Structure 1
Amino acid sequence: MFYQYDPVTQTQGLIRTPWVPYKNQIRDFFQTGTNLTNSLTLDGAYKNTAARLSITNQNNTWIVPETGMERTSVALSLNSKITSKLNISAKVNYNNRFSDNLPGNGYGNQSLMYWFIFWQPSADLNWLKNYWVNGSENKLIEYPFSSFPENPYAISHEFINRSGRNGLTGNVQASYQFTNELSLQLRTTMDLASERRAQERPYDAGSRLPTGSYREQKIYGQETNIDFLLKYDKNISNDVKMIATVGGSQLRNKYNKTDLRADGLKIPGEYTLENNLYPLVSIPDTSRYRINSFYGVLSTSYKNYLYLDITGRKDWSSVLATPNRTDNVGFFYPSASLSFSLSDYFKLPKAVSLAKLRASVSQVGSGGTTPYRTSYTYSLASNGTYPDSALVNPSTLPNPNLKPLKTTTYEFGTDLRFFGDRLGLDVAYYAGNTKNQILTRTVDRSSGYNTAIINAGQINNSGIEVALNAIPIKHQSGFMWSTYMTFAANRNKIVSLPDSSIILRTGPIAGGQIVAKVGGSMGDLYGRGYVRSPDGQIVYDPVTGNAKITSDVVYIGNTTPKFKFSFGNNFNYKRFSLNVLFDAQVGAVGHSLLNYKMVEQGKLASTLPGRYSGIIGKGVIQNPDGTYRPNDVIAYDIDDYYRSHMGSENAEGSTFSTDFIKFREASLNYSFHPKWLVNTGLSSVTLGIYGRNLFIWSPWPMFDPEFGTLSGSDIVTGFEIGQFPSTRTFGFNLVVGI
C-alpha cells in the first residue's frame, strides 16, 4: 500500500492504496474508428448528349479521440456529338475535405505517441481526465508524472489542428475529324485548390508556448494545362497500318501560402488572430514554374502480328532555369517498342491461346517540380520577428548548373495465355540506369550551409516482374475459382557520384543516416552499431559485460525491399463471391525509435532477461593478446546493458527486418436475384462485408513494418519515428441499381 496521486485534489493522496498495474489502459484510450461512405451515380443520354453525375460523401472518425474527417466529392461529365465531325466533352470534379481536428504525429510533446512512450502502467489513466489544474482552468495543464509529455486528454481536446480544403478540377476537350484519316484534339485542363488550416494551442502548451498560440494558413494552388494532338490514321495497304500523332502542351503551376501566427494569446481559449498578445508573425511562401512540351508518336503494324511504336518528346522546364540563363532548360527523351504476336504468325498448339513477345527501350526525363533550386533564396529571419522583414542567409546551397534527371530503360517481356485464357503468364525483365538524379545532400556545416542540391551521377537498376493468373476450376454448377499472383524483384547499384559518399537523410539517434555510396545501393542505412569479431560475433566489454559500440558509422542494411509478392483468390458460386488477398515483402530493414525509447524505459518483454540475477550477452570478449573467447562476464547493471544493445548510442540494435506477410483484404458479396426485385423499382442489389489489413506476420517489433515518416511534404522510409498503431478495418457495403 502506498500514498498515490489523488486526481480530485491533484496532490498526493492521504490514504494508502494498492500499487497495481492498470492493464490495457493505453489500448483502451484509442477508440474504434468508423467510416461511413454514401455514393450516388446517375447517368443518361438525350439525343446526341450523354451525361454522368456522381456524388460521394465519406464521414470518418479515427482511433484518436476527437479526430476525424469528412469528404464530399461531386463529379459531372458530359459528352456531346455536335456534328458528324465535331465532338465536345467536359468533366468537372469538386472535392471538399474538412476536419475539425487532425491528430499530431511524430516524436514531440504535442503528439500522443510521445505520451504513449512515457506513460507508466502503474498509474490509472482516469486520473488524467481532469487535465486543468484546479483553480487555474484554461491556464495550467495538470500532468503529475513527468515534465516530458503533455496530458493525452489535453492533446485530444485542446491541441486542435483544423483543416478545410476545396478542390476543383475540370477539362474541356474538343475533337474534330477533318477526314477519315486526319483528326485534331484540343484540350484545356485546370486544377484549383484552396485550403485553410489552423492550429490552436492552449496556455501551458510547452515551454515555447506558455501563453498558447493560434496559427492560420491559407494555401492556394492552381495548375493549368493546354494541349493539342493532331492524329493521322492511315491503312497504307491491306497489311500495313500507321498512326502518326504530333502534339504539344503548356503547363503553368502557381502556389501561394500565407502563414499568420499569434504565438501568445491575451485571453486563454479564444483562438483568433485578433487575440494576439505579441505582434503577429507573417511567413509568406510562393512558387511558380512552367513546362512547355512537344511530342510525337508513330505507331505501325504489319498483318496484326508485328507492332512498332516510336515516340519522342522534348520538354522545356523553368525549374532548371536561373536568373541569368535559360539555355539549359530543354531536354529530349525518345522511346521505341516492338511486339511480335507468335500466335498470329505461327500455327501453335490448340492449348496456346496467345503468345506475344515484346521489347522496348525508353528514356524519361524530368527537371522535377520544385522551383528555385538553381539560385539563392532568402527566408525571413526567425520567422519574421525581426523588424523591417530581415532575411537570413540560405541554408541550402543551390546548383546553377542543375541538369534534368534522365532514366534509360531496356525491357523484354512475354505474354502467354493457355487453355482458352484459363492460364496466363506475363513476365518482364528490365535493366537501365538513371543519371543526374536530383537530390538534396547533407553537407558539413562549416561550409555555411546545411544541405546542397546536386545531380547524383549514375545509378544502375534492374529487375523482374511476373504476373500469373489462372482459373483452376470452372464448373457448370456455377462454381468458379480464379487465382492471381504477382512477384517483383529489383536491384540497384550506385556507379558514380560527385563524391565518394553522400548523406541523403539523417535519423534521430546514433548517427543513423541514409547514405549513397559508390558501389552501394539507394536506401543504404548506416549508423553506429556493434563492434564485432572477425567472424561477426558481438564483442562485449570485459569489465561491465555490456556490448561495445563502434565509434564510427557502419553499414546496417538497406531500406528498400528486395522482393515483393501478392497472392489473391476469387471464389464465385451462383450469386455469391468471395475475394481474398495476401501480399508480402522481403529484404529490407528499418530503424525503430519506438523500440529504442521503450527499451530505454524497460517497457518491452525483450528487456526482462537478467533483471534479477544479471545476464551474459551472447558473443565474445577480446583478450589482451588480440584473440577472442566466449563472453563469460555477467552484466549486473541491466539498464546499461540494454542501453548498450538498443539505446541511443546503438542504431543497429533497434534496426529490424521489415519483412512481412499481410492478410490484406477479404470480401464476401451476394447479388440478389432479379426475380426478387420485381415491383421494387430496382435493377440490382448487392450486399457485402469486407475486412482490410486483417493480420500481419512480421519480425518488426512495433505496430506495422509499412511505416512512413513525414519529412516536409514527403513520406520517407528507413526511420520509424513515433508511428501510430496500425488499424484493422471491418465493414459492409450495399450497392443498389435503379
Structure 2
Amino acid sequence: MHKLLWSAVLPGLALALPAQAQQTRTITGTVTAAADRTPLPGVNVVVKGGTTGTQTDSEGRFSLPVPAGSTLVFSFIGYNAMERAVGDNASVDVALTANTTQLQEVKITTAFGIQQERRQINYGAQQVTAKDIIESRQPNIVNALQGKVAGVQVTSSGGAPGEGAAIVIRGGNSLDGDNQPLFVIDGIIMDNSSFVESTAPGGGSAFNGILGRSVASPNRAADINPEDVESMTVLKGPAAAALYGLRAANGAVIITTKKGKAGAVSIDYRTQFSVDEINRLPKLQSVYKQGTNGVFDPTTRLSWGPQFAPGEEVYDNMGNYFQKAYSWQNYLTMTGGTDKGSFLLSASNLDQRGVVPNSDFDKTTVRLSGTMKFSPKITAQGSAQYLNSGGRRSLQGPGLFGGTGGYFVSLLTWPRNDDARNYLNPDGTRRRLIGGVGSNDPDNPYFTAERNPVTDRTNRLIGNAQLTYQPAQWLTLNYNLGTDLYTEQVRSVRAIGTSQPSNQNGGISETTTRSRLLNSYLTAQFTHNFGENIGATLLLGNSIEQSTREATDIVGLVFRSPGTNSINNTENRGALTTNSTRRLVGNFARLNFDLFRQLTVELSGRYDMSSTLPRPNKNKNYGRGFLYGSATAGYEFTRTLGLDNNPILSYGKLRLSVAEVGKDTGPYRVESPLAQSTYIGGGFRLGFFGSNTQLKPERTRSYEAGLDLQFLKGRLGLDAGYYYAETRDQLIAPRVSQASGFILQYINGGTVVNEGVEIALSGKPVQLDNGFTWEVLANFYRNENRAKELPSFLTEVNQSDSWVIDVARGSAFPDRPISSIGVIDYQRVNDPNSPYNGQVIISPTTGLPSVVAGTFVYAGDRAPDFTTQVTNTVSYKGLSLAFLLDFRKGGKVVNGNEWVMVRNGLSERTLDRYKTAVIDGVVRQPDGNYVPNTRPVELTQGYFINQYAGTGWAFVEDGSWTRLRYATLSYRLPQTWLAGSFVKGVEVSVTGRNLLLFTKYSGADPETSSAGAGVRGGGSGGFDYGSTPATRGMDMALRVNF
C-alpha cells in the first residue's frame, strides 16, 4: 500500500521543484525582538498583495523569492506587524516591538471549531501545538499529550507495537461508564474506542473469551497522522465542553488539522528511524529449579524443586525472549494555493516491529484538504483522510478462557532448568514441558508467538465538508457535515497442540466490526456592539449525531489439517451478528458579553434527545430529552487598575464557572432485545442485560475558579485553577437474581465526586542578545476522587476487566476512589475497642493466617496523589534541546507478575523457603482476648502459595516515579547555507525516550494498563499483569523543507 502511495505523491514533488528553482530574485533577512534583539522564529513573512510567503527559522532568518519593488509584511503573535519595502535591497532585517495586549487576543479552538480569544475563555482549557506533538516523537497522538496539559492523565498499555493509550481529564466521573474525553477533529466527532470484548459477539465463548483484554489493541485516535495536527486543545471540564452535550461529560480534545497555505507549492518531508528495547524486566530467582517441595519433578511447571548444582546451566528464558525492535516512519506534506483557495496533501507510513518475536504494526494515512473562497461572503472547506492500520500481536495477560495465559505469563512460569527456545519436536509439533494435557502445562511463549497469533486490520475514512456564509458583518452561518467510518477485522488462532484442554485440535475466530458515525452541525452566529465598550455574540445551533455498529463473529473449531489457519479448514463452525444504532439530537445556544474589555460573561444551554433513554412517562420526571447548561465569568482586573503596560504584572484575570452536563447509557438497555444463539440447537435467548424503562442520564455539576497571570510583559505566565465536580444518578449494572433470566441490569444509583487543583506555569527565564533562550512549561495536578455514595444494597462496584486472578481487582468502595484496589484479605480482629483491631488473626494450631475467600477489601488507590511535569527547551541559534521530566507521587500498582512468580516459585521473594519465621499477627485466647503470635513456622511451598499469595496485600506496591520522558536534540542548518537552492530548510534530530526511570516499584514499570485502553469505570491502569513491558528507545530524524 505505501509503495503505491509514494509512487502517486512523489511525481508531484518532482514537478514542484523546478517551479521553485525558476524564482531568481531572493530576499534574505533576520527578524528580531526590538526589546533585546533576540531572534524570533516562526514570524510570518509575506509579500503584500501577493500569495508568496514563508516563516523565519529557529535563528529568526528567512529567505523568500519576490518580485522587484515588493513590500514585505512581518507579523507574529504578541508583536506589532511591520511593513518594509524591498526596493533594490538583497537583504531586509527588521525588529518587531512587543504588544502585550495582543498576547491575550491569541485565538484557540473551542467547541465546534469556533475560534475564541484566550481572554474570553473563562474555564480550563490548554492548547498543545504541533511543535510539542512532534517533539515527543510519539506515533500515537494521545501519548503525545503526556506531561503537556495540567489535569490530564495518559496511561500507555505497554510496550507492544501499536499499543493503545487511555486518557482521563480531571479524574473519572462514572463508576461503570466510559471516562475518556470526547475527540473532535475539525469540528467533527471521531471514534477513539479500543477493541474490547463487548464489540465481539462471540467474546464470551469458551474459545474466544476475554480476547479484548488479552491483546494490545490500539485506541482509534492512534490512526491520526501526528504531522497532520496543527494543534490540540484540551477542554477540561463540563463548562468548557457543554456545547457538545452528553458526549463531552468527561471533557473534550479538539484536534485542528493543518490547512493549505497561500503561495507557491511547498513540500515538507520527515523520515525517522527508531530502535527500541525492553526498559526493565521482573527479577527471577536462579537458585531453585523445577519440582515440588524441594524434590525435582519433571511433571510440573513449578520451580519448588532442589537447588541448581554448581555449574548447572540456568537459562535466562525471559532475557532471551525479547528482541530489539526497529521502526521506520515517513511523512510527506504538500501545500499551496492563492488568496482564493488552497490545498494540503499529506501522506505517512509507519512500519514498526515489536520486542516480542513475530509482532509488528503498520499504519498508512493519506489526507487531502482544501479551502475555497467563492466570494467575500462564501467559503467552503473540506477534507478526507484514509487510514489503514493493523498488525500481528501475541496473546498477553490471562490469555483466553481455558488457556494457561499469554506469552508473558508463560515466561513468568517457565522453569529455569529448561530452555524455552527449544519449543518444537523434530516432526514440527509442539514440545511439551510436561506430559499430558492440562492447565499444569503452560503454552511455550515462542509457540504462542509463532502459532497462536492475533492479527487485526482497520480500514478507516474520516471526512467532512463545511460551508460558511456571511451575509452580513453581524451574521455568520456555518454547516458542517462529517463522517467517521471504519471496518476492523480481528482474527485469533489457537493452533493444534496448544495447552487449552478443550481445543487440543485448534480453532480460529474472526471478528469483523463495522462502525459508522455521522455528524451534522448547523450554527448561526450573531455579533453586535452596543457602543464602543459592550460587545455581544449569540450562537444558535443544531446537531444530529448517529452511530451504527455491526459486529460479526465466526468461530471454527477442530482444524482438519495443521498449518492452514482458515475457517474453511475447521469441522465445527458457528456465526453470530449483532447490530446497534444510537441517535442523538441536540439544540444549543451560547451568549457572550464583553464589557469594557474587562468583564466577559458566557451563558450556554443545550437540550438533548437520546435514543438510548426511555420515552417520557406520565409523570414527566424522566425521558429522552434533558436540558443543561453553563455560566462563566472572567474579570481582567489589570485593565481596571491600568496595569496593561506594567513591567512586572502585565495581565491578570479572575475566572469563575458553573456547569451541568449529562451522560446517557448505551443502546438497548431500556428494553432488552432477544439474542440469537448459534450454539446448543440455536434459537433465541434472553440477553445478558435486563430491561429498565426508568433509566435517567448521569448528571455532572461542576464549579470552577481560576486565576490567569502574566508577568514581565508575557515572559512568565501562571494559569491556576480549582474545581469541584459531582456526578449523580450513576449508571451501573449490578448482578440480578438468576430467576429473572438475566445476568445484569442497568440502574441509576450512586454519586462520584472529583475535587482538584491544577497549575500551569510557563516562562522564558533566559533570553540573551546572542540568541540563547531557555523556555519552561511546568504542570502540577492533584485530584481527589471518591464514590460519595453507592446504592444501599452494594458494598462494592468492581471493574470486571481489571483483575489478578482470585486475589485483586479494580473496585469502587463507599467513600473511596473509583480507581481503588480490592483484594482478598486475611481474617482480622474486628473490634474497635481492642488494641489489636485490624491485626491478622493467626491460628494457634498451625501458626498461619486464614484467608477470607470471596470478600474484597480496600487496599489503596491506583490514581496518584499528585503529578508534576516540567518541559524545558534550550535553544541557541539553530541548535535546540527539549526534554520532559515527569514526577508522580503516590498511586498504587498491583504487581500481578510478582504474584504469578511467587506461586510458581520463581520470585526472589521465595528464596526464604524452608526457613523458620514467626508470622506477624495475634492469636485469640480462650477468654476472647488476643495476644501477639510467637509460634515459629516453616515457610513451605504451601505457605507461599496458599497464605502469602492467597491474598493481594503483598503485591500492592507504591507506584511513585521520577522519569525522563524524552529528550530531543535538534539542529537546523543555517539559512545562508541553503541560499539559492530549492531547499528551504534542513533539520536533523535525535530523541531518547524513557531514558531514565527512578521508582521503588519492583516490577518492570509502574506506568501500566494491563487490560488496555478500553476498560471502563476506573480503567485498568495500575494493574501489571502479563502485558508487554514498557520500552526505551532512540529516534533519528531528518526533516527537509522544499
TM-score (norm 1): 0.91
**What does the per-residue CA deviation read over 1:460-480, in whole Å, with 9 as the maximum and x for residues that have no partner?**
321111112232222223222
C-alpha separation between the residues in 2 aligned to 1:313 and 1:684?
A: 48
CA displacement at 1:226 relative to structure 2: 1.1
Amino acid at match of 2:470: Q
Q: Are 1:114 and 2:409 counterparts?
A: yes
Amino acid at match of 1:579: A
Q: Per the alignment, do residues 526 and 25 of structure 1 end up closer, same or farther by CA in structure 2, a change over 3 Å counting? A: closer
Q: Are 1:408 and 2:701 counterparts?
A: yes
Q: Are 1:320 and 2:613 counterparts?
A: yes
Moved more, 190-199 or 237-246: 190-199
Task: Report if the CA contact (8 A) 1:547-1:641 is conserved.
Answer: no
State which of 756, 761, 774 in structure 2 corresponds to 1:463.
756
State which of 996, 1015, 1031 in structure 2 corresponds to 1:714.
1015
CA displacement at 1:723 relative to structure 2: 2.0
C-alpha separation between the residues in 1 aligned to 2:501 and 2:893?
A: 32
2:455 counterpart residue number:
162
C-alpha separation between the residues in 1 aligned to 2:889 and 2:849?
A: 28
**What does the per-residue CA deviation read over 1:658-687, in whole Å, with 9 as the maximum and x for residues that have no partner?**
222222111111111112223542111111
Task: Report if the CA contact (8 A) 1:322-1:374 is conserved.
Answer: no
CA displacement at 1:173 relative to structure 2: 0.4
1:13 counterpart residue number:
none
Task: Report if the CA contact (8 A) 2:349-2:365 is conserved.
Answer: yes
1:10 counterpart residue number:
none
2:732 counterpart residue number:
439
C-alpha separation between the residues in 2 aligned to 1:624 and 1:730?
A: 66
State which of 476, 484, 489 in structure 2 corresponds to 1:183.
476
Task: Report if the CA contact (8 A) 1:442-1:504 is conserved.
Answer: no
C-alpha separation between the residues in 2 aligned to 1:637 and 1:581?
A: 46
SS in structure 2 opposite 1:432? Answer: strand
1:271 counterpart residue number:
565
Q: Per the alignment, do residues 199 and 221 of structure 1 end up closer, same or farther by CA in structure 2, a change over 3 Å counting? A: same
Q: Per the alignment, do residues 397 and 430 of structure 1 end up closer, same or farther by CA in structure 2, a change over 3 Å counting? A: same
CA displacement at 1:496 relative to structure 2: 3.3
| Higher-strand-fraction structure | 1
Percent identity of paired positions between Structure 1 and Structure 2: 25
C-alpha separation between the residues in 2 aligned to 1:477 and 1:264?
A: 74
**What does the per-residue CA deviation read over 1:164-223, in whole Å, with 9 as the maximum and x for residues that have no partner?**
211001100001111111121111101110222322332123322222223222221111
Work out the number of aligned pairs and report it.
714
**Divergent runs of 4+, >6 A:** 2-6, 322-327
Moved more, 174-183 or 595-604: 595-604
Q: Per the alignment, do residues 563 and 446 of structure 1 end up closer, same or farther by CA in structure 2, a change over 3 Å counting? A: farther
State which of 343, 346, 359 in structure 1 corresponds to 2:656.
359
Superposed, which structure 2 residues align to 1:677-716 within 5 Å? 677-710=978-1011, 713-714=1014-1015, 716=1019
Task: Report if the CA contact (8 A) 2:544-2:586 is conserved.
Answer: yes
Q: Are 1:724 and 2:1028 counterparts?
A: yes
SS in structure 2 opposite 1:728? Answer: strand
SS in structure 2 opposite 1:606? Answer: helix
Q: Per the alignment, do residues 511 and 28 of structure 1 end up closer, same or farther by CA in structure 2, a change over 3 Å counting? A: closer
SS in structure 1 opposite 2:936? Answer: coil
SS in structure 2 opposite 1:102? Answer: strand
Q: Are 1:379 and 2:675 counterparts?
A: yes
Moved more, 587-596 or 354-363: 587-596
Q: Are 1:102 and 2:406 counterparts?
A: no
C-alpha separation between the residues in 2 aligned to 1:151 and 1:509?
A: 20
2:546 counterpart residue number:
252
2:778 counterpart residue number:
485
State which of 77, 91, 97 in structure 1 corresponds to 2:383.
91
SS in structure 2 opposite 1:641? Answer: helix
Q: Are 1:641 and 2:943 counterparts?
A: yes
**What does the per-residue CA deviation read over 1:476-499, in whole Å, with 9 as the maximum and x for residues that have no partner?**
232222222211111234333332
Q: Are 1:564 and 2:867 counterparts?
A: yes
Task: Report if the CA contact (8 A) 1:442-1:503 is conserved.
Answer: no
2:917 counterpart residue number:
615
TM-score (norm 2): 0.65
Q: Per the alignment, do residues 324 and 351 of structure 1 end up closer, same or farther by CA in structure 2, a change over 3 Å counting? A: closer
Q: Are 1:334 and 2:629 counterparts?
A: yes
**What does the per-residue CA deviation read over 1:631-652, in whole Å, with 9 as the maximum and x for residues that have no partner?**
43322133233335541x2122
Amino acid at match of 1:296: A
State which of 946, 957, 973 in structure 2 corresponds to 1:672.
973
Q: Are 1:59 and 2:348 counterparts?
A: no
Amino acid at match of 2:509: R
Q: Per the alignment, do residues 736 and 55 of structure 1 end up closer, same or farther by CA in structure 2, a change over 3 Å counting? A: same
2:50 counterpart residue number:
none
Task: Report if the CA contact (8 A) 1:567-1:582 is conserved.
Answer: yes
SS in structure 2 opposite 1:144? Answer: coil
Task: Report if the CA contact (8 A) 1:322-1:375 is conserved.
Answer: no
SS in structure 1 opposite 2:612? Answer: helix
Q: Per the alignment, do residues 178 and 359 of structure 1 end up closer, same or farther by CA in structure 2, a change over 3 Å counting? A: same
Amino acid at match of 1:117: L
SS in structure 1 opposite 2:918? Answer: coil
1:599 counterpart residue number:
902
C-alpha separation between the residues in 2 aligned to 1:18 and 1:461?
A: 58
**What does the per-residue CA deviation read over 1:376-418, in whole Å, with 9 as the maximum and x for residues that have no partner?**
233344xx1233x323333333322111111111100001111
1:231 counterpart residue number:
525
C-alpha separation between the residues in 2 aligned to 1:134 and 1:342?
A: 82
Task: Report if the CA contact (8 A) 1:335-1:362 is conserved.
Answer: yes
Task: Report if the CA contact (8 A) 1:566-1:584 is conserved.
Answer: yes
Task: Report if the CA contact (8 A) 2:317-2:411 is conserved.
Answer: no
Task: Report if the CA contact (8 A) 1:500-1:518 is conserved.
Answer: no
Amino acid at match of 1:727: T
**What does the per-residue CA deviation read over 1:437-463, in whole Å, with 9 as the maximum and x for residues that have no partner?**
222334565765433212233223211
Task: Report if the CA contact (8 A) 2:489-2:510 is conserved.
Answer: yes
C-alpha separation between the residues in 2 aligned to 1:21 and 1:323?
A: 73
1:520 counterpart residue number:
816
Task: Report if the CA contact (8 A) 1:529-1:653 is conserved.
Answer: no
SS in structure 2 opposite 1:472? Answer: strand
C-alpha separation between the residues in 1 aligned to 2:842 and 2:999?
A: 29
Q: Are 1:127 and 2:430 counterparts?
A: no
CA displacement at 1:228 relative to structure 2: 0.5
CA displacement at 1:518 relative to structure 2: 3.7
C-alpha separation between the residues in 1 aligned to 2:419 and 2:529?
A: 80
C-alpha separation between the residues in 2 aligned to 1:43 and 1:112?
A: 46
Q: Are 1:345 and 2:640 counterparts?
A: yes
SS in structure 2 opposite 1:284? Answer: strand
CA displacement at 1:548 relative to structure 2: 4.2
CA displacement at 1:301 relative to structure 2: 0.2
CA displacement at 1:550 relative to structure 2: 4.2
C-alpha separation between the residues in 2 aligned to 1:204 and 1:392?
A: 34
State which of 70, 80, 91 in structure 1 corresponds to 2:362.
70
CA displacement at 1:148 relative to structure 2: 2.7
Amino acid at match of 2:609: W
Q: Per the alignment, do residues 259 and 469 of structure 1 end up closer, same or farther by CA in structure 2, a change over 3 Å counting? A: same
C-alpha separation between the residues in 2 aligned to 1:398 and 1:289?
A: 17
1:12 counterpart residue number:
none
State which of 496, 510, 515 in structure 2 corresponds to 1:216.
510
RMSD in angstroms over aligned alpha carbons? Answer: 2.8
C-alpha separation between the residues in 2 aligned to 1:520 and 1:613?
A: 39
Amino acid at match of 1:191: D
SS in structure 2 opposite 1:529? Answer: strand
Q: Per the alignment, do residues 216 and 328 of structure 1 end up closer, same or farther by CA in structure 2, a change over 3 Å counting? A: same
State which of 31, 37, 41 in structure 1 corresponds to 2:329.
37
Moved more, 85-94 or 372-381: 372-381
2:882 counterpart residue number:
579
Superposed, which structure 2 residues align to 1:424-435 within 5 Å? 424-435=717-728
SS in structure 2 opposite 1:635? Answer: strand
